[in-house]
Structure 1
Amino acid sequence: MWVGLSLLLTLCLLHGGGAESDGGGPRCQLPQEWRIGEVEPMKGTMGQASRMDGLRQKLESQGLKDVIYMVINHQGEQAVRLHTMLEQRLSSNIRLYKQEEQQPDVWQTLSGEKDDFLIYDRCGRLTHHISLPYSIIGQGHVESAIKDTYCKRICGDCTHEVDHT
């Protein structure tokens, strides 16, 4: 097992592009607040972000330390509107980045889509690009990709690897 591996994980949330995000009609609107008894089922439904910290905790408990998790929010209007709420819901162990309108779109640069996971080894080499439906946390694909990147030399030798033999 590699010691001190840094893995970069990026997740696109709240993608503002496309016809479904234009805000017209009943589709893609934020839900009204509602409860069933004391339970608010819609709380914590910020897509993959609400599940990402659970995955981080699970992997850390299995010994996968020094992994960097980050969310790069989309530049779209809806993403900008919801950025503060997402920031409040994410663990402090997950970095959230807000793209500026005038900068090149990171997700376009990375050929990424909504809810994609891009997983890099500690040398910054892309090991996995996981898209929907495989990127849904809890199905095991993202977890397996992180473990593979952490434990195996997918891209060959890494310049940051420390041999402890």
Structure 2
Amino acid sequence: MWGGLGLALVLCLLPGGGTESQGSSARCKEPPEWQIEESSPMQNSRGSVTVVALLQCLHFICDAWSDSSFYELEDLRVKLENEGLVNISYMVVNHQGIHSQLKIHTLKEKVSENIIVYQQDENQTDVWTTLNGNKDDFLIYDRCGRLVYHLGLPYSFLTFPYVEDSIKIAYCEYKCGNCSYMVLS
């Protein structure tokens, strides 16, 4: 019990209640419109809690990095599903740089089909900039597409409980008020 209370306190003490990368004004608001090619991932995930990971594969350490981060994300997805938290959309937005683009196939091989990996084109508006995000940030949205948490380092390390607990809060609580997509239990 005390561990959960401590975690809740830590999340509340983060600037913006966990939205430290964007400032408190972004909390409980829909994200700016963004696309990857012709797809609008946030529109497509309406009705689901959505986890957006901003990850970058550096060309000289890609394999070690992706083994750790992607396998941990897949493990977290499976753990939450086994706990009954279903209908969660997981997506990774790979960095826009050319070195990251060259490693997209390696990254896609590291995760199941349940985690979508998006690759930005060099010529499009940078999604990371649009979301005011940085490498290794996790953005957690409720079923209505409103930002519940924006976690940056060190809170976004998947070995810590912050990302998992933020997903559970977005899934189980009404941090941003009522949502027409809420599932009645």
TM range (shorter): 0.7 to 0.9
- Aligned-residue CA RMSD in angstroms? 1.8
Does 2:52 correspond to 1:10? yes
Q: Which moved more, 1:78-87 or 1:43-52?
A: 43-52
Any idea what SS the aligned residue of 2:103 has? Answer: helix
Does 2:147 correspond to 1:126? yes
Runs of 5+ in structure 2 lacking a partner? 1-46
Match of 1:111 among 132, 141, 159: 132
Please state how far the C-alpha of 1:44 moved relative to its aligned partner.
Answer: 5.7
The letter of the residue matching 2:87 is: D
Count matched residues.
138
162 and 146 in structure 1: CA distance in 2 versus 1, 3 angstrom threshold: closer
CA distance in structure 1 between the partners assigned to 2:76 and 2:60 by the alignment: 28
| Map of 1:37 onto structure 2 | none
For residues 60-96 of structure 1, what are the alpha-carbon distances to aligned partners after superposition, in whole Å with 9 as ceiling and x for unaligned? 0111000000001110122111111001111111011
| Map of 2:60 onto structure 1 | 29
The letter of the residue matching 2:129 is: Q
Runs of 5+ in structure 1 lacking a partner? 16-20, 22-27, 32-42
Greater Rg, structure 1 or structure 2? 1
CA distance in structure 1 between the partners assigned to 2:55 and 2:140 by the alignment: 16
For residues 82-114 of structure 1, what are the alpha-carbon distances to aligned partners after superposition, in whole Å with 9 as ceiling and x for unaligned? 111001111111011111111100000000000
1:64-83 alignment runs, 5 A limit: 64-83=85-104
CA distance in structure 2 between the partners assigned to 1:44 and 1:92 by the alignment: 21
Give the ranges of 4+ consecutive aligned residues of structure 1 lying more than 2 Å apart after TM superposition.
28-31
| Map of 1:137 onto structure 2 | 158
CA distance in structure 2 between the partners assigned to 1:163 and 1:98 by the alignment: 35
Which structure has the highest helix share of the two?
2
- Percent identical: 42
CA distance in structure 2 between the partners assigned to 1:90 and 1:44 by the alignment: 14
Normalised to the residue count of structure 1, the TM-score between the two structures is 0.78
Tell me if structure 2 keeps the 8 A contact 1:44–1:50. Answer: no
For residues 112-156 of structure 1, what are the alpha-carbon distances to aligned partners after superposition, in whole Å with 9 as ceiling and x for unaligned? 000000000010000000000110002000000000000000000
Any idea what SS the aligned residue of 2:51 has? Answer: strand
126 and 82 in structure 1: CA distance in 2 versus 1, 3 angstrom threshold: same
